[in-house]
Amino acid sequence: MNPPSVSRPHLFGVLAGLALSAGLVFAATVLANAWTRIAESQVINVTGSARKNVRSDLVIWRASFSVEAPTLVEAQEKLRADHAKVAAFFSARGITGFAASPAEVRELVAKQRHEEDDTVTNVRVGYRLSHSIEVQSENVDLLPKLAGESGELLRQDVAFVSGGFDFIYTKAGEAKVEMMAEATRDARTRAEQIAVQGNRQIEALRNAKMGVVQINPLHSTATSWEGNNDTSAVEKTIIATITATFAMK
């Protein structure tokens, strides 16, 4: 007597049921392991940030003036006279002093052709002497204003050239300490918002590492690995970040 045969549809149904059962068991195992890892996690890492808008409290203005004369002695005399005019210009506007570099001396040459042998040589025709100066003020609006008035020196026959400005916030170091505390508070707030989603609570701060501080023109969010230190703008935004690790329960 032959054993009863199993129909093909029935066999497929059995195999499909076994595969489904195995899949459900595997999924349950994965979820259980994931939940176990979450439950066993005792710390959370977050990044907090702080921003502060500040106004520069120091401005540095760089400029120069120069003279030309046939002889070195004449050039030195003209440079001294122009230096006195520049000093008087600043003194009349409340600037009592400025730093001047040692005089830079350059020879002035011209090409001269010799008809007898049709050669060309360089011949010294005079000297150019110049001073580079640096002016500092805590009144960050004053020096840009004076730069606009420096045309008066040109009218006095002084070859005065205005350079650029550096606007500096000298209390940046103090601000960093203050902002580190603020960034840590921001990090804790972020950690609490994340922890509550898993029915957890934040306990103590385990570790904190301050990131690179960015000093940018006002409202700029530019970043660099080395940290920005803008000197082009009077108004600035300081951005500080901190990576913090909190214990959870």
Q: What is the pLDDT of residues 43-58, one digit of tens each?
A: 999 999 999 999 999 9
Q: Which domains does the chain have, with CATH numbers?
A: 41-55+171-248 (3.30.110.170), 60-166 (3.30.70.2970)
At residue 51, the pLDDT reads 96
Q: Is 247 in contact with 42 (CB distance < 8 Å)?
A: yes
Q: What is the pLDDT of residues 138-176, one digit of tens each?
A: 999 999 999 999 999 999 999 999 999 999 999 999 999
pLDDT < 70: residue spans in the chain: 1-41
Assessment of whether the complete model's pTM goes beyond 0.95:
no
